[in-house]
Chains A and B, each alone.
Chain A
Amino acid sequence: MSLESQVAVFVDGVLNYFDTTVQQSAQCGTPHLALSDKPEISDYTGVIQVTGKRSGMVAFTAPKSMLSVMLMRMQETDMGHENLCDLVGEIANTLSGNARRDFGHQFQISVPSVLSGRDSKLEYPADTRPIVIPIDWRNYHARLIVCLGG
């Protein structure tokens, strides 16, 4: 699968997620390779480790305000830290899991882990270059970081 096709899988997943879950469309900006600096991360980051035929990780990072509004759109009344962590992990899990439709059964994903705080350090697999997919929803900005080798 070409790099463009791989990116398209995740872009489609993001658009479908927002259309379905919060029923307000998101827009994806131009995906780009993070060539020098590591991608900036936001208040909350959900991380999925990928093993099997492909190895690496997928991370969804978003500001607290965006996740809070998403919870509201889902009729959730508890916008506390636990639910913000839960949501960001669930988004990372859903976007990674949906990718199996195209990557196949051997694209195995972990349960999500969550980082909170913009100073958190995201561990990148060696010898891979992260692809950053910018996501705009309402006035908020999030990123999907896809870092797959093999």
Chain B
Amino acid sequence: MNEVTHRLMVVDDSNVIRRRIERANELPEVEFVGAARNGVEALAMYEAVHPTLVTMDLTMPEMDGAECVAKLVQRDPGIKILVISALADKLTAIDALEKGASGFLCKPFTDRQLNEALRKLIRT
């Protein structure tokens, strides 16, 4: 049996998407530790649950995902962040990566695509 080695926090303003990502994760080494609705909540939750892995939406109220990525990486340069966004243009993906994200998955996505993206992320 694989040991849990990654603690996953999900950040998205959609409850449906948050729950879907939590359900779809089938990687035994990844444990879901919490979900946040925006960047402000995510930064507070980070202090409480210390995730090592984050899925991050971009278009959110209060604080958007790009700003949150930059702040999380500033606090923890080793954190791995998968941006999951509907914003499908290349510049958005490049901007997220430049702010410190480790990967980008475009919405809509299948459960299989999500797991592949998470698997790739934890192997980087």
Least CB separation from B58: chain A residue: A97
Output the least CB separation between A29 and chain B (Å): 21
Interface stretch, picked from A34-42, A88-96, A122-130, A138-146, is: A88-96
Partner of A101, one of B17, B23, B88: B88
Q: Mark B29-64, 1 if CB is under 8 A from A, else 0.
A: 000000000000000000000000000000111000
Least CB separation from B20: chain A residue: A74
Partner of B16, one of A71, A99, A110: A71
Residues on B with C-beta less than 8 A from A21 are: 108
CA distance A7 to B87 in the complex (A): 18
Residues on A with C-beta less than 8 A from B88 are: 97-101
Which A57-95 residues sit within 8 Å CB-CB of chain B?
71, 74-76, 82-83, 86-87, 89-90, 93-95
Least CB separation from A19: chain B residue: B108
Question: A105-B91, A109-B59 known; A94 and B16 CB under 8 Å?
Answer: no
Least CB separation from B13: chain A residue: A111
Say if the beta carbon of A20 comes within 8 Å of chain B: yes
Residues on B with C-beta less than 8 A from A75 are: 20, 23
